[in-house]
Amino acid sequence: MDNCAVFTYTDEDFVNVSSKSRFDIALRSGWTEKMNSGLFRYHLGDLDTRILPGPCGFVAQLNILRGVERRKPQEIVSIRQNFDPNQFNFNKINPKELLFELQKVITESDQNGRNKKCKIIINVSPLEFGHCLLVPEPDRCHPQILTPLAVQIGIETVLLSADPGFRVGFNSLGGFASVNHLHLHGYYLDHQMRLESSPAELIHPQNHLYRLVDFPTGFLFYTQGPDLTLTVNAVCKLTDIMVDKNIAHNLFITRGCPPNKAGDPFSARNGVRVVIWPRLSCFGAKEESAFNVALCELAGHLPFKNRKDYETVTEEEVKEIIRKYLLPEEEFSELQNHIMKTF
């Protein structure tokens, strides 16, 4: 995995929403080339897509082959499970699955020791166009627990993309992560999502921490960059609390409007929203027949495994499934109070 193209960037490459950026061109062209070369488990094509009627605006997609062909998830028994070199990890992939290496060029104004690299590899069982995995420092064999570098790279890739449809997410162990080797997901979804403009309540001004008002309830951070230090540290402090308390969680990073412009779907989405949902842990082979509840589903993107569910499901039925995986309101409030004291 060492002989690969390197995509270097600085803060000057962070762009507002427009047409395409250098990052989009590199990712889109490389991903399409890999698809045409037969490196994926199936040909993605154009997915059947419909917007479910209702205020949540859930984006439902039919992706039967992902449910059939994806790699069997590893056995996960703990949110703090150690990395196991004998299990599948991203150091064992076919080198042809590597798209490029992402490396930030350190400037005089950014001396945070960020001269670290991230592998961008294809997800061979894609959810959507451009579905890739962001693997920070793969040789260090980090378990699937967020680090400041991982969070920073997640936010920076969204800022590098000029496409508002490019999103990044993370599933913790117990939150439907299938590989215990630190990675995030990135992909394009050409649909606006309610999450980008949903209202939020400021609960900790010093750390710019908000609580989402809309379903499903989660924590929200907002940044416009380029200095991401405060946001990255606050996100990691929050997820570290959840790891310490053995609470599974999912994270989603997307272009979005400022919280004070919440509710306005036409507001400029040049900033970045980082949303974290604490949730009930799910270990073993427990799966829903329609869809699993992980980063995509909590954000409002629903990849369905069968046509019947895709064609007939209603917004209320989706919410009923998701509720089964969310922390009960009392537990969420207890966690919020603990976070407020710790912050």
Please state, in angstroms and rounded to a whole number, the distance separating the CA atoms of residues 124 and 70. Answer: 8
According to DSSP, the β-strands at 6-9 and 98-104 are parallel
Residues with catalytic roles: 183
Tokens (6 digits) for 28? 């889109």
Residue 216 amino acid letter: P
Q: What is the 3-state secondary structure (H, E, C) of 117-146?
A: EEEEEECCCCCCCCCEEEEECHHHCCCCCC
CB 185 within 8 A of CB 130: no
Assign 237 to helix, strand or coil: helix
What whole-number distance in Å separates Cα of residue 180 and Cα of residue 26?
A: 27
Are the C-beta atoms of 218 and 212 separated by less than 8 Å? yes
Amino acid at 217: T
Peptide bond preceding 278 in cis form (omega within 30 of 0): no
Could you tell me if 133 and 223 are in contact, meaning their C-beta atoms sit under 8 angstroms apart? no
Q: Kindly write down the DSSP assignment for every residue of 252-304, as one continuous string.
A: EEEEE--GGGTT-TTS---EEEEEEEEE----TT---SS---SHHHHHTEEEE
Residue 229 backbone zone (phi > 0: left; psi -120 to 50: alpha; other: beta): alpha
Q: What span, in angstroms and rounded, lies between the C-alpha atoms of 281 and 248?
A: 5
Q: CA 252 to CA 154: how far, in whole Å?
A: 9
| 215 phi, psi to nearest 5 deg | -75, 140
∠ CA 142-272-126, nearest 5°, is 55
CA atoms of 343 and 331, how far apart (whole Å):
18
